[in-house]
Structure 1
Amino acid sequence: MRYRGVLSIILTIFILVSESYAYGYKETLKIAGDNNYPPYEFVDENGNYKGFNVDVMNAISIELGIDIEIIPMNWNDALMSLRRGEVDIVQGMTKSLYRKSIFEFSNELVINSQAIFVRKDTSFVTEVKDLSGLKVACQKGDVSDELIRNVSDITLLEKENQGLAIEALLNNEVDAFVGNRLTGLYYLQKTKRIEDVKIVGEPMHTIQYCSATKKGDKETLAILNEGIKRIKKNGTYDKIYKKWFGESFSDTNEKWKQLFYIAQIMIIITLGFTLSVYYWNKRLKKEVEKQTREIKEKQKEIDQNDRLKGKIIESIISGIIAFDSTGKIINFNSFAKNLLEVDIQEGMTWHDIDIYERIKVEEIKRVLSNETLKKSIQWKLRNGEIKYIDCSIIPIKGPECVEGVIMYFYDYTKEKNLNEMIIHHDKMQALGKLSAGVAHELRNPLTSVKAFIDMIPEKIDNINFREQLMRIVPQELNRLNNLVSVLLDYSRPKESNPQEVYFDELIKDVLLLLNPHFKKKEIKITQKFNNLIFWADVSQTKQIILNIIVNSIDAIVKKGRIDITGHIEDDKAVIRIWDNGCGINKSNINKVFDPFYTSKKDGYGIGLSITHQLVQENKGEISIKSVKGEGTLVTIRFPIYPD
């Protein structure tokens, strides 16, 4: 254990010694300093060189384990010695732009400032420009020399150090002294002449005070910075600073100035307090009256806004009901009450007005989670009438979450009834076009039946005749019955009822109606589809296909061709109807679905418009391509599954 202790001590000493000699790149660093720049650096009456800078350099020497030689000299000589490389460091120098161009500066030692010193009886100097026309003393080569050199008409007396420059002021050789503020105060206090001199104006050239090396000597500069860093870290710097700057030097002029400022502030405070007490009640009363007026005006404005919002809601020709997040009604308009025939009141819930029977709770929850819902509903009134209503449900968004929902009711019953009338009219118009052909188709089986009936008296005993009568007459009657059934089914108004559509069966009925026209114009029909099934309304789909094929027939003059194909593509049933008719002008192709647009002399322009609408109602799509003189292709897409 004892050997371990000895070994630890040896290792510690080795580390300290190694660290101490890490920066000993020279035997001795030569350091120059001003011989009379207290309290930074000066030679006292006993010939000892001392001061803040001297203590800092000695502390760095001890901390880094380097040898130094501090040489006091005239300040200007110190600057020249550093520039010529005769010394390595100037231990203290105020940093300026000019000096930065010829020296390297260490990290900051202290913050320095310059001041103007004048005799007590001087009252006309308050700033640098007031020195114009006067004799002024300063230290040769000091930063203060740079501050006053450009003042016009000044007589400058340069001294070797700041002590001699202050002496020149005290001995009436000059009118003012410009130099380091702390040095000046230190010298005046030490010579007990502080009462004879005062400082005027604000502190000047407040800037960093550092150590300096020759320009480009980065190695020595690094040693200085490391030493400053260490003595600041271990507390040595704070002790040195307190030793030389801990006690503030007396500045009588500054004291009186501070007292004057304090007195002014006290008077102002006292006066302000008195006036405040005097006017407080009056101002408070006015403020209360003002606040009261503003509150009343705000309340009036809020009331007006509420009334305006209410009028706006009432003036909307659609029903509006607003619910909070719990389902309670917070606002509504009269149109909603009249439309639904429900006595709506605030505080009621959607259960009280039977909304939940048409709109599911899950759908309301989706809206409360910030979705928007649109839905068509049917509403039965007391007299049994059915209203068709588009219902939009929109979330009411708060700052953090959805705070409720707004239900917007639009009554489209009249539009729906009018649309059904137009569709029915379109059917009747199509039937009118087919009437001649249908009459011919009806006449053919009737003629056959009549011929057999006329021959009954003569050939009733003929076995062959009886066999033909029993075979042909029922066939013709069935043919007649099928044709009448198709006509009745097509012409009868029906409610939309989407279901599975078997296209094979549907196209047979349509082609049966149009067969006379195919024969009349000698049109060849080709079909290519197998078990094509999709989801739509059967009656509306018949009307769609009929309208398109009728247009194809109208476009063919004689001996034409119509191709009907169908297949499944991307979950859609795709039906294509092509004809080799006259085609459509390129400039008119985008207008064919517009209401009342037609290129026919006897047309009304509603057929394709109704066709387009019916396709959309069945969640389908329709498009037309055409080349003038070559033909037209109509493509229809229907969903194969219910929505």
Structure 2
Amino acid sequence: MHHAALLLLAALLAVLPAAGPARAADPIPQAEVPGVSRPVIVGGDRDYPPYEFLDAKGQPAGYNVDLTRAIAEVMGLRVEFRLGAWNEMRTALNEGGVDILQGISYSEERLKEVDYAPPHTTVNHAIFAHRGAPPVDSLEGLRGTRVALHKGGIMHDTIRQMGFEHDLVFSDTPADALRLLASGRCDYAVTAMLPGMYIIRENHLDNLEVVARSVATVRYGHAVRKGDDLLLGRFSEGLAILDQTGKYEEIRQKWLGVLENRPIKWSEALRSISLVLAPMAALLLGSMIWTHTLRRRVAERTRSLSSALDQLRENQRQLLQADKMAALGTLVSGVAHEINNPNGLILLNLPMLKKVQTDTGRILEEYRDAHGDFTLGGIPYERMRRELPVMLEEMQEAAVRIKRIVNDLKDFARRDEGAGSELVDANDAARKALRLVEAALRKATRRFTASYAQDLPTVRGSSQRVEQVLVNLLLNACQALPSPDRAIRLETRAEDQGRAVALVVQDEGVGVDPQDLPHLTDPFFTTKRATGGTGLGLSVSAGIVKELGGSIRFESRPGQGTTVTVRLPAAPEEAE
């Protein structure tokens, strides 16, 4: 993985807010938006293990499938897998039957019909033969022999360009190509090294062996139809996020590690376990002693304070919090202004740069025709001619995103005048709140999902205050998770036949003790005082909800998580 390239691409792409059974590809209405109004249709090879294949139950499985599911999870997308013959899947992408291919090798020829995301894998191809067959050391050595190939694969394209396609025996899958070789119907087979070894092992094709390794090495990753920059950007950013969180490496090790299982000696296992458990036991014992001592000291300290002093301290914290929020509003406005000025200059200049690039393109074309290919910024002109317009477009989209986030911060921090006098789109308020806590969510969980109801009625109130409630609830959910493997879910829905709107935040955190549930909205009540909690967030949120004529309900079980449901009445004119 090229970490720096992935991060750079992800930083330039805009972000917009898993999987069903495999089936034949159907045409997709172009008016629908993949991942929003419908799932993203993901195409792949039905028999290309360990990258992608249908398992014994007929369900999509493999490295590509797990990687695509993980990308969809971090980007809030819905995906549906359709695995079939590879040649059919390439055709389905071109004709709109699928939105994206999750594993396709890179070539200049294919670049004419698809756009590639940053590659997630490098695939080595090898030549397979019967044991004892005459050796070959390159693709050129296959001339005059019968060669089995995966139809539509990168090796098919490569050997066709070498000019001896009449000697080829085609199959729908790499597994079929190796079976043809094992049955004696051809002399050699060319396929990817790792799938070939996997297929030989799983199908017990013991009469086959590798006679030439790494005859071709190609980049391998996701690709979309030419011009589908929006979907390409979302998958590219999702891959970059997985690379930074370590999830990509976890999936890669699961599927692409050593194929043969090496037996572990009991002596080695016990020694490794002891090396791990001994420090852990010492750490646990020390932690227990320290925790017991700390609890005793805290209890002694707490008993020594009077209730009046406690109340005074809480009042001081409340005043300090209010002062900090007022200062934060002023600070955010100033910083937003300083960011918007240079960002506005970028947005102003980029259209001019696009025009300059278009106008100079004709001059550079004439220069290329007269003097041959040349480099721009160290990159061949032929490549730069294709990539420069895309880079300028991505820069403009990124600048627009910066402007949107800054405006959201300004809206959130400004003083709220005339609360309750506007019609509020709850879905829009939820999306703004998510953008404000995006960093906290990414740090707290790898399993965040959001679901927005369509045709949701508006509520009368204040968009800023609805956002404030959701920000408090989402941050509380983040703080409740013991590990990033636990999930958080945000949902909006209409209730009571459209007369009310519900905003639901659900987490799989540590939960709340039953005796604490009735006190969650009491001023100054908090279960996180040791980590700086003030007990004001839920109290303020409950006050806002009550002021808007709604209700807030908490459901929780210790160790299983908490669900908070905010119910607001629909605007009277919409309810009617």
Same fold by TM-score greater than 0.5? no
TM-score (norm. length: structure 1): 0.35
Considering only CA atoms, is the larger Rg found in Structure 1 or Structure 2?
A: 1
Higher normalized contact order (CA 8 Å, seq sep 6+, divided by chain length): 2
Decide which structure has greater strand share.
1
